């Protein structure tokens, strides 16, 4: 019985440790981008919705913002990255951040996405019009 209780305690500790480190996540359905072609130089604004189910913490991954033009090419800005642990979310709460990037107003944006860390996979977000 003691062995069973010891194993159970170790398993519970592992579960709590793994969930504590991943408390802040991106809410993909509430994240989006908004092309701002009316501005003189052209911009695209990204909204990133973060959710925290644990204690106050930062988002633990780097976020790179990308957008796709009508010709199919993907574009980003030279300052399109937010470093890991820079976006803070309070305990058991949600927070939405936004960031603006320069975009050529003559080339319409058809898709937007986020890349995490150095991965090439694009997580698509809604394009607002």
Mean pLDDT (the chain) is: 86
Percent of the chain with pLDDT over 90: 68
Looking at the structure of the chain, the number of domains it has is 1
Residue pLDDT, tens place only, 19-70: 445 699 999 999 999 998 776 678 999 999 999 999 999 999 999 999 999 9
The C-alpha atoms of residue 60 and residue 70 are separated, in whole angstroms, by 32
Specify if 33 maps to a domain.
yes
CATH code of the domain in which 99 resides:
2.60.40
pLDDT value, residue 77:
74
Residue pLDDT, tens place only, 100-125: 998 888 889 999 999 999 999 999 99
Specify if 92 maps to a domain.
yes
Residue 113's contacts (CB-CB under 8 Å, 6 or more residues apart) are 65, 66, 67, 68, 122, 123, 124, 125
Which domain does 72 fall in, by range? 24-127
pLDDT value, residue 11:
47
Specify if 18 maps to a domain.
no
Which one-letter DSSP state was computed for residue 128?
A: P
Q: Is 72 exposed, middle or buried (0-12, 13-18, 19+ CB in 10 A)?
A: exposed
8 A C-beta contact, residue 76 and residue 67: yes
The C-alpha atoms of residue 56 and residue 87 are separated, in whole angstroms, by 11
pLDDT value, residue 112:
97
pTM over 0.85: no
């Amino acid at each position: 019985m003691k062995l069973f209780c010891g194993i159970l305690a170790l398993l519970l500790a592992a579960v709590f440790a793994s969930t504590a480190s991943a408390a802040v996540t991106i809410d993909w359905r509430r994240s989006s981008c908004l092309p701002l072609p009316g501005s003189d130089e052209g911009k695209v604004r990204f909204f990133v919705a973060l959710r925290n189910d644990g204690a106050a913490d930062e988002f633990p991954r780097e976020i790179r913002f990308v957008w796709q033009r009508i010709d199919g090419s993907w574009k980003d800005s030279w300052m399109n990255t937010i470093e890991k642990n820079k976006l803070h979310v309070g305990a058991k709460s949600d927070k939405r951040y936004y960031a603006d990037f320069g975009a050529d107003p003559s080339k319409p944006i058809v898709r937007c996405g986020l890349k995490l860390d150095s991965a090439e996979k694009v997580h698509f977000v809604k394009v607002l019009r």
